[in-house]
Amino acid sequence: MTNAAPRKPIRKAVFPVAGMGTRFLPATKAIPKEMLPVIDRPLIQYAVDEAREAGIEQLIFVTGRGKTAIVEHFDMAFELETTMKERDKTLEVLEPTRIQPGNLVTVRQQVPLGLGHAIWCARAIVGDEPFAIFLPDELMIANKGSTGCMKQMVEAYNEVGGNLISVLEVPEEEVSSYGVIAPGARHLGSGGALTEVTGLVEKPKREAAPSNLIISGRYILQPEVMRVLEGQGKGAGGEIQLTDAMARMIGQQPFHAVTFAGKRYDCGSKTGMVEATLALALEREDMAEDVRAIAMRLLGLS
Ligand code: G1P
């Protein structure tokens, strides 16, 4: 399904960050889980970097109580900057945290009713235009020389329009933790492999899963999804599920899955966090040698 009409650009992105992060307690008692660092950047920063690389201008954080550190992170720290300047330190390291006034908006979710509800809370700010969604727990790292996940998706969107989700394959025993797609025809777009989505189901039992292709936390959706979410009942886990709303849009608008050419780390889990930290450290020129030596020593290999 392709459509030659000019696409409205993807200017806005919603980041649902109201979750309590119970899997990382007690680390997340006073600090939002999105502020946990992978080396020297909090998780949320990686998602915001990916959004900006994709040309997104406005960041919409769906937050809750105890999450103000995320907003502080992207605010100007006047005292810090003054002190750093006085000490002749470069402010370059703060560059990724600078957001133009007006380009960061927050709404509160108030009650934890699920991902679909969190997205719906942003409806007035999203307005009548297509928008991106980032689940910051999913850390998507591009291969060297290649673009980030959302940029790849925006390129695909410019070709096929409609709705897009990023997907990846997981072992069959893991499908019940995710949203799963029923795949249709595959075709190769200029941005990579595209698969038509013919069905979507949230957290299916392994036997009932239509495939092992799971939704990996990046979406480009048409604003109609907000109307579908309006008044939608609870789904898997007793929560208002975004997947259920998207499923109802299949057949009415183009719906494609993009297989990200890059690596994904599940930073919603402790082992995923460790994996991401190690993998990124081993890619960094300033750390790789030392970290490799440490890992070898710990594994008894040196
Ligand atoms: C959410 C989505 C699910 C998706 C997953 C990716 O689930 O509902 O479709 O596959 O994120 O991480 P959650 O992890 O919030 O249970």
**pLDDT over 70 (residue 198):** yes
- The confidence score (pLDDT) of residue 191 equals 61
- The confidence score (pLDDT) of residue 4 equals 53
Do the domain assignments include residue 6?
no
The closest-lying atom of ligand 1 relative to the alpha carbon of residue 236 is: 8
Kindly state if the Cβ of 266 falls inside 6 Å of ligand 1.
no
- Buried/exposed code over 101-138 (b: 16+ C-beta within 10 A; e: otherwise): eebbebbebeeeebbbbbbbbbbeebeeebbbbbbbbb
- Confidence category of residue 145, pLDDT binned at 50, 70, 90: confident
| Residues 115 and 221 reside in one and the same domain | yes
Task: Write down the residue that tokens 């235009």 correspond to.
Answer: 129
Distance CA(218)–CA(47), nearest Å, equals: 10
**pLDDT over 70 (residue 175):** yes
CA of 179 to the centre of ligand 1 (A): 6
CB 138 within 8 A of CB 267: yes
CA of 137 to the centre of ligand 1 (A): 9
Task: Collect all residues with Cβ–Cβ distance below 8 Å to 95 and sequence separation of at least 6.
Answer: none
Kindly state if the Cβ of 243 falls inside 6 Å of ligand 1.
yes
pLDDT digits (tens, 9 = 90+) for 65-123: 989 999 999 999 999 999 999 999 999 999 999 999 899 999 999 999 999 999 999 99
pLDDT digits (tens, 9 = 90+) for 267-285: 999 999 999 999 999 999 9
Distance CA(111)–CA(109), nearest Å, equals: 6
- Confidence category of residue 192, pLDDT binned at 50, 70, 90: low
| Residues 133 and 177 reside in one and the same domain | yes
| Residues 165 and 179 reside in one and the same domain | yes
Which residue(s) pair with 166 in the sheet? 258
List % helix, strand, coil for the chain (3-state, nearest 5).
Answer: 35, 25, 35
Kindly state if the Cβ of 162 falls inside 6 Å of ligand 1.
no
| Residues 257 and 276 reside in one and the same domain | no
The beta-strand segments (E) located in 203-297 are 213-221, 255-259, 262-266
**pLDDT over 60 (residue 2):** no
On the CB side of 60, CA atoms within 13 Å amount to 20
> Residue of the nearest CA to atom 5 in ligand 1?
178
| Residues 189 and 286 reside in one and the same domain | no
Q: 162: phi > 0 → left, psi -120 to 50 → alpha, else beta; which? A: left
- The confidence score (pLDDT) of residue 82 equals 94
**pLDDT over 80 (residue 1):** no
The closest-lying atom of ligand 1 relative to the alpha carbon of residue 237 is: 16
Do the domain assignments include residue 85?
yes
Distance CA(188)–CA(294), nearest Å, equals: 42
- The confidence score (pLDDT) of residue 151 equals 96
Mean predicted confidence (pLDDT) in 137-150 = 94
- The confidence score (pLDDT) of residue 21 equals 87
CA of 98 to the centre of ligand 1 (A): 29
| Residues 240 and 119 reside in one and the same domain | yes
Kindly state if the Cβ of 195 falls inside 6 Å of ligand 1.
no
Average pLDDT value for the chain: 94
| Residues 24 and 70 reside in one and the same domain | yes
Count of domains forming the chain? 2
Distance of CA 194 to the CA centre of its chain: 19
Kindly state if the Cβ of 202 falls inside 6 Å of ligand 1.
yes
295 is in which domain, residue-wise?
A: 269-302
**pLDDT over 80 (residue 264):** yes
Mean predicted confidence (pLDDT) in 165-187 = 95
Burial of 164 (0-12, 13-18, 19+ CB in 10 A): buried
| Residues 187 and 258 reside in one and the same domain | yes
Q: Which of 24, 113, 140, 178 to mutate to test the pocket of ligand 1 (most atoms within 8 A of CB)?
A: 178
Do the domain assignments include residue 1?
no
Kindly report the pTM of this predicted structure.
Answer: 0.95
